[in-house]
């Protein structure tokens, strides 16, 4: 039966695993109405606008 | 073959899930706009769109099928007399999902699920009226 000849070093293990450990930076854009930084495809929590429309009034939140 | 017809089980057993979707649909037709999580909204939308399609043709058969899911008589009535006719010229796509960010406690992806032709202008007018009334009251108190 095939058996490993050498133990895998910490470095090798970590190098292999690190491929899937990358963190991604969320895309942040400026609100078209008030300039507040917002996540893409989200309603602006500050002014309640999305794609030029008032979705909710912020004082009710 | 059972390909590409999957759905989200929402971590519930089938009876629980059915009850949840029933309730969510009823509330959606009642208020026309609800706030919920993204996963629940997507599953509710699947069922609600089918209901509205039925409501466009107000036959007795369609009404009985809808009544299995919507057990609030008033809401069922509203669906067939108000919502259905409103969407007569629209071929599907009656609802809209707007993402509003993550919930404070558990960071759930929250959304607003609404009927696309929600009368925004009328509601605004109503809100302004209420505000004006409030101001008038406060002014009276100040006197
Ligand atoms: Zn904004």
Mutate to test the interface with A, among B35, B97, B101, B124 (most CBs of A within 10 A): B101
* CA nearest neighbour of B24 among B101, B128, B95: B95
Is residue A7 a part of any domain in this protein? no
Structural domain count, chain A = 1
Q: Which residues pair with A50 in a beta bridge?
A: A53
**CA of B23 to nearest chain A CA: how many angstroms apart?**
24
Tell whether A17 is covered by a domain: no
Residue A10 falls inside a structural domain: no
* Cα(B134)–Cα(A52) distance, integer angstroms: 28
Q: Is the ipTM of this complex over 0.95?
A: no
Q: Which of A55, A58, A59, A61 to mutate to test the interface with B (most CBs of B within 10 A)?
A: A55
Q: Residue A57's pLDDT band (boundaries 50, 70, 90)?
A: confident
In this complex, is the C-beta atom of A56 within 8 Å of any C-beta atom belonging to chain B? Answer: yes
Query: For A1-51, how does the pLDDT look when each residue is reduced to its tens digit (9 = 90+)?
Result: 899 999 999 999 999 999 999 999 999 999 989 999 999 999 999 998 998
Domain boundaries of chain B, sorted by first residue: 14-117
Whether A8 is in a domain gets the answer: no
Give the closest of A45, A55, A57 to B98, CB-based.
Answer: A55
Torsion B102-B105-B106-B110 (CA) sign = negative
Question: What pLDDT score was predicted for residue B124?
Answer: 64
pLDDT at B130: 75
Mean pLDDT across B82-109:
94
Would residue A1 count as lying in a domain? no
For the stretch B98-141, pLDDT in tens is: 999 999 999 999 999 999 987 655 566 666 777 777 777 777 77
Q: Is B130 near chain A, with CB under 8 Å?
A: no
The mean per-residue pLDDT over the stretch B85-91 comes to: 93
Window 20-79 of B, Cβ < 8 Å to A:
none
Residue B13 C-alpha from the chain's centroid: 23
Task: Identify each DSSP E strand in A1-61 by its residue range.
Answer: 28-30, 37-39, 49-50, 53-54
Which bin fits A52, alpha (ψ -120 to 50), beta or left (φ > 0)?
Answer: left
Q: Which residues of A are less than 8 Å from B124 in CB distance?
A: 54
Nearest to B100 among A43, A54, A57 (CB): A43
Whether domain B14-117 has CATH 3.30.2130.10: the reply is no
């Amino acid at each position: 039966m095939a058996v490993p000849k050498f133990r895998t070093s910490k470095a090798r293990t970590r190098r292999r695993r690190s491929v899937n450990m990358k963190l991604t930076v969320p895309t942040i854009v400026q609100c078209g109405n008030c300039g507040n930084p917002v996540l893409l495809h989200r309603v602006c929590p500050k002014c309640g606008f999305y794609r030029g429309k008032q979705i909710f009034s912020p004082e009710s939140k | 073959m059972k390909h590409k017809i999957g759905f989200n089980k929402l971590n519930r057993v089938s009876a629980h899930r059915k009850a949840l979707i029933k309730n969510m649909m009823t509330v959606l037709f009642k208020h026309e706009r609800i706030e919920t999580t993204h996963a629940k909204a997507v599953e509710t939308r699947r069922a609600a769109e089918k209901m509205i399609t039925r409501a466009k043709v107000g036959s007795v058969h369609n009404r009985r099928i809808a009544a299995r899911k919507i057990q609030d008589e008033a809401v069922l009535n509203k669906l067939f007399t108000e919502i259905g006719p409103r969407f007569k010229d629209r071929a599907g796509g009656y609802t809209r999902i707007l993402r509003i960010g993550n919930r404070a406690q558990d960071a759930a992806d929250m959304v607003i699920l609404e009927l696309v032709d929600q009368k925004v202008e009328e509601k605004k007018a109503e809100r302004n009226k209420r505000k004006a009334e409030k101001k008038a009251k406060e002014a009276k108190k100040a006197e």
